[in-house]
Structure 1
Amino acid sequence: MRIVQIIDSLEAGGAERMAVNYANALAKKISFSGLIATRKEGTLRSQIDSKVSYLFLEKKKAVDFQSVFRLRSYIKKNKIDLIQAHSSSFFTAVLVKLTYPKIKIIWHDHYGISQDLSSRKKTGLKLGSFFFLGIISVNSALKEWAINSLSCSNVIYFPNFIEDSFSSNEELVLKGIEGKRIICVANLRPQKNHNLIVDTANLFKDKFPDWSFHLFGKDFKDAYSEDLKKKNIDLKLENTVYFYGTTNNVSSALKQCQIGVLASLSEGLPLAVLEYGLHKLPVVATNVGEISKVISNEKEGLIAKSNDLNQFADCIQKLINNESYRIEMGMNLNKKILLNYSQEVILEDYVLWLHSLTNFEI
């Protein structure tokens, strides 16, 4: 089978990471694996495996016929069987199918605000879904939504999978005191609720003055980012909470930290939690999306109510105060991630599902 992933950008985000993960993983399993960025490249460009065929469409507007026919030409030249379109890139995939009907489309839904699916816009998706061979949802709520809202009968839930983080030659040295670092990997967006982390740091600055928080994720230089950083300065936390932006070597950062946190107001299945577990970090996260499926008991991690400062801080304090508990928890979560969310486990089920839809040999 010959499959190409399509994603609108290669900025550091969950959907983008999974498009790269699928392309890289399939390159080891099938005769042709490709990856196409439609609108924008980004930091993940450097993480694409050399065996993956890559194309940047340079799409300029919503309906860009030049990019559609460029993609059509690429698909014909490389004899592509199937497009796996991630998130909003389904629109480009559908336009190509209208010009080249034999191509098949799988839509991969990464929608992160699964707490409020009733308000999700679906008119475009409803029309597009008539052209989908199948739909992959990254959590069970999205699967139910697709079954009830869209016109495609082949809907399946596959959790995100994780592999050992790509490491560049970039040297990364964290601030703060060795052995007393807490990390959060999440782009600076309101739904990620970094304010809860800053508020927790403010509670801890006198109680645990040696501990520090290290925030990694794309800074969009918007009002949310400005307000967050101003708050950090106003609370005099410049030497407690550090902002690093994006990096190609988050693995290096994780190895220098003792606790991983995620304070989100909404999520699908966050790759950050899987990545923490892969690096044997104990985790404190809010109870949103599929997080409670990954962390199902207090031996695997601690879960707090969304936006509950006292509970979130108490969970982190438990880990700060008990190193042996931290180590054991990190090991337990690591075992669960490798057993249930590894590339090998998810790809095996994915390949069987594709074969059942297409009858192509993998």
Structure 2
Amino acid sequence: MTESAPHTHKQGDDRGNLKLLHVFPSFAFGGQQARLATLIDGLGDGYNHHIITLDGDFSAKAMISDQAQVNFAHFAMKKNSAISFSNIRGLMNAIRTANPDILCTYNWGSIEAVIANRMGPKIPSLHFEDGFGPGETIENQSQKRILGRRFFLRNSWVIVPSHGLEKAAREKWKIKKVTRVENGIENDRFTSTRAPRDFVMIGSVGSLRPEKNYRRLIAAFKKIETSGEKRLAIVGVGPEHDALCEAAGGDNKITFPGQTPAPEKEFAKFDIFALSSDTEQAPISLMEAMAAGLPVVSTNVGDILEMVSNENQPYIMPLGNDDAYCEALATLCSSPALRQKIGEANRKKAARLFSQERMVNQYKEIFSKLLNN
């Protein structure tokens, strides 16, 4: 298939709003979707967003304000182990029909939309890479996908949220145009006051996927001994739900509340935030927990060690050292004063570094550069 001439159009819709088309493999609850909801809110008037999902899941639309100018559509992808020209033709038509000013594609699952744009409309585009699924990490990536990203993204502007992904994009994928944009959140939204109670609530918020390894957290919770009562809540949905319930073994102190479009309400219930992932980059849930004034216990993956406050760093444990992870969790469970000290340090750092305004301004600058090149 030969490449066609670039598609030209007047910037903005009939009211002069900048039109952004977002192509997601899925719009289920997750970090990318939470970031886009925060970005849409921060951009405000003057932007029109069209979101295409490739699996028909729009559940994360609950995170987006009803007042935002957002349209949703489903493109029914044909499942193939290789690149599908039928998918590419369909996506070319979808992009032309939307006629955006900027095309935004997300992760490897949207790579056919990247190809479709290159072969057809040639809309100014950004490609977002936020991490890996089961079996892949920064250090252990699929060779097929390394080569695929290197080839298909060679002319793309790639946006990443973490130092590790920035290095991977430059050194492994050989991408020439890479920009790291740290995620941002609405810090004030997560400010809360915790009433005294007679138990410690450990909590986590995230998709119930294998790479999150919530089995590690459940095992640690069951193993640690504390002077008072403790409880664990793992907030989210995903394919690991039934397996995690089985791992919990009917313990009524371990709960799975499901998904929520208002995570701030869940963080307000926690005393400790716990991550147990085998792979992460720069988790939005961690930023939210810090903004909520929570101490964090986590595996040392992605940028987590650099993200938390200096006071919290001793509780970010080496991946694979589950005994140390248990000890860190037990220490924080046993000391309310320590939790308060670390939580306050985290809150201050989140307010200083993880602001919605800073992220929105960076994206506005990127949009301007992209359209004026």
Fold in common (TM above 0.5): yes
- Tell me the amino acid that sits aligned with residue 215 of structure 2: N
CA apart distance, 1:67: 4.9
1:45 to 51, 56, 61: 61
2:74 to 57, 82, 92: 57
Q: 1:119 to 1:38 in 2, by over 3 A?
A: closer
CA contact (8 A) 1:300 1:332 kept: no
Q: 1:355 to 1:67 in 2, by over 3 A?
A: closer
Distance in 2 (alpha carbons) for counterparts of 1:165 and 1:54: 28
Between stretches 351-360 and 303-312, larger displacement belongs to: 351-360
How do 1:227-238 residues align onto structure 2 when only pairs under 5 Å count? 227-233=243-249, 238=251
Between stretches 190-199 and 121-130, larger displacement belongs to: 121-130
1:95 to 116, 135, 138: 116
Q: 1:352 to 1:248 in 2, by over 3 A?
A: closer
Q: Secondary structure at the match of 2:203?
A: strand
Q: 1:150 to 1:300 in 2, by over 3 A?
A: closer
CA apart distance, 1:292: 0.9
Distance in 2 (alpha carbons) for counterparts of 1:33 and 1:10: 14
CA contact (8 A) 1:114 1:141 kept: no
CA contact (8 A) 1:9 1:41 kept: yes
Between stretches 122-131 and 306-315, larger displacement belongs to: 122-131
Percent of paired sites with the same residue: 19
Q: Secondary structure at the match of 2:229?
A: coil
Q: Secondary structure at the match of 1:219?
A: coil
Map of 1:9 onto structure 2 = 26
CA contact (8 A) 1:35 1:52 kept: no
Q: 1:264 to 1:304 in 2, by over 3 A?
A: same
Verify: 1:323 aligned to 2:336, yes or no.
yes
Count of matched residue positions in the alignment of Structure 1 and Structure 2: 337
2:105 to 54, 78, 85: 85
Between stretches 350-359 and 50-59, larger displacement belongs to: 350-359
CA apart distance, 1:179: 5.0
How do 1:144-163 residues align onto structure 2 when only pairs under 5 Å count? 144-150=167-173, 152-163=175-186
CA apart distance, 1:39: 2.6
Distance in 2 (alpha carbons) for counterparts of 1:209 and 1:299: 22
1:332 to 345, 361, 366: 345
Verify: 1:107 aligned to 2:127, yes or no.
yes
Map of 2:259 onto structure 1 = 246
Hey, which bits of structure 1, 4+ residues long, moved more than 4 A?
Answer: 164-167
1:22 to 36, 39, 50: 39
Q: 1:55 to 1:231 in 2, by over 3 A?
A: closer
Distance in 1 (alpha carbons) for counterparts of 2:243 and 2:94: 42
Map of 1:126 onto structure 2 = 150
Gaps of 5+ in 1: 168-176
Q: Secondary structure at the match of 2:346?
A: helix
CA apart distance, 1:82: 1.2
1:211 to 221, 230, 234: 230
Verify: 1:199 aligned to 2:219, yes or no.
yes
Distance in 2 (alpha carbons) for counterparts of 1:165 and 1:67: 39
- Tell me the amino acid that sits aligned with residue 107 of structure 1: H
Distance in 1 (alpha carbons) for counterparts of 2:220 and 2:174: 45
- Tell me the amino acid that sits aligned with residue 139 of structure 2: D
Q: For each residue in 1:242-265, what CA deviation from the matched residue of structure 2 results, as whole angstroms up to 9, or x when unmatched?
A: 122222232211111111110111
CA contact (8 A) 1:139 1:268 kept: yes
CA contact (8 A) 2:226 2:333 kept: no
Q: 1:114 to 1:355 in 2, by over 3 A?
A: farther
Q: State the TM-score, normalized to the length of structure 1.
A: 0.83
Distance in 2 (alpha carbons) for counterparts of 1:241 and 1:139: 32
2:165 to 126, 135, 142: 142
- Tell me the amino acid that sits aligned with residue 151 of structure 2: L
Q: 1:8 to 1:299 in 2, by over 3 A?
A: closer
- Tell me the amino acid that sits aligned with residue 226 of structure 2: K
CA apart distance, 1:131: 4.2
Distance in 1 (alpha carbons) for counterparts of 2:94 and 2:366: 29
Gaps of 5+ in 2: 1-17, 80-85, 191-196
Q: 1:301 to 1:185 in 2, by over 3 A?
A: farther
How do 1:251-266 residues align onto structure 2 when only pairs under 5 Å count? 251-266=264-279
CA apart distance, 1:225: 4.2
Distance in 1 (alpha carbons) for counterparts of 2:247 and 2:189: 33
Q: 1:68 to 1:356 in 2, by over 3 A?
A: closer
Distance in 1 (alpha carbons) for counterparts of 2:60 and 2:41: 12
Q: 1:328 to 1:272 in 2, by over 3 A?
A: same
Q: State the TM-score, normalized to the length of structure 2.
A: 0.81
Map of 1:174 onto structure 2 = none
Distance in 1 (alpha carbons) for counterparts of 2:188 and 2:21: 22
